[in-house]
């Protein structure tokens, strides 16, 4: 998911919560995903214009409303897989997707969460293998490499635990 797609996802996610004018969209994005989605007028305006031209949103008196096609596009963006989470714990793609994932139907949301948990489990295994290599090959007094591998594994564990907690909660749309 590139920067433009993250901006599009952010706008569509905000509008899925309710109609809004550009300043409200910008403010909401700044408060929810600010550092992960460029929320300046220079970034949001052109994307909103494109969304309006492709009839994913409509604008009436300066207020934008999500169309049925816009809801479909939001779902498509939310279902875009994030295949590699090894470098993503604070990555914009992951954070933006998680911010708006509740807009998927309950079963689809659970599928996406399960897939992300699986990716983090796989990443944890890979980090553990690297950690094992470093434990055997690298002197612990040299730098922080071994500790960083351990930290990566811990972060993956925390994400899996958090995702599993989310999956146990009632879906916001039910």
What is the C-alpha separation between 26 and 41, in angstroms, rounded?
A: 7
* Global pTM exceeds 0.85: no
Both structure tokens of 139 = 């002197």
Q: In a 10 Å sphere around its CB, with 0-12 CB exposed, 13-18 middle and 19+ buried, how is residue 16 labelled? A: middle
Q: In a 10 Å sphere around its CB, with 0-12 CB exposed, 13-18 middle and 19+ buried, how is residue 19 labelled? A: middle
Both structure tokens of 3 = 């920067």
Which residues 6+ apart lie within 8 Å of 34 measured at CB?
A: none
Residue 48 above 80 pLDDT?
A: yes
Q: Which of 91-105, 116-130, 140-154 has the lowest mean pLDDT?
A: 140-154
pLDDT of residue 54: 97
Looking at the structure, give the CATH architecture of the domain made up of residues 3-78.
Orthogonal Bundle (1.10)
Q: Nearest to residue 1, comparing CAs of 72, 76, 69, 54?
A: 76
Residues 103-139: tens digit of each pLDDT = 999 999 999 999 999 988 988 888 777 656 555 555 5
CB 172 within 8 A of CB 101: no
Residue 87 above 80 pLDDT?
A: no
Residue 77 above 60 pLDDT?
A: yes
Which residues 6+ apart lie within 8 Å of 123 measured at CB?
A: 84, 85, 86, 152, 156
């Amino acid at each position: 998911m590139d920067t433009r797609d993250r901006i599009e996802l952010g706008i569509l996610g905000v509008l899925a919560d309710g109609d809004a004018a550009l300043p409200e969209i910008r403010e909401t994005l700044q408060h929810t995903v600010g550092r992960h989605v460029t929320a300046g007028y220079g970034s949001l305006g052109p994307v909103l214009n494109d969304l309006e031209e492709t009839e994913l949103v409509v604008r009436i008196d300066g207020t934008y409303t999500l169309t049925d096609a816009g809801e479909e596009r939001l779902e498509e963006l939310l279902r875009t897989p994030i295949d590699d989470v090894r470098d993503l714990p604070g990555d914009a793609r992951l954070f933006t997707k998680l911010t708006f994932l509740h807009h998927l139907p309950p079963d689809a949301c659970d599928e996406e969460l399960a897939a992300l948990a699986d990716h983090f489990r796989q990443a944890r295994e890979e980090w553990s293998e690297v950690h094992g290599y470093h434990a055997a090959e690298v002197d612990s007094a040299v730098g922080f490499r071994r500790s960083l591998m351990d930290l990566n594994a811990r972060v993956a564990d925390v994400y899996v635990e958090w995702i599993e907690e989310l999956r146990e909660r009632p879906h916001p749309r039910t």
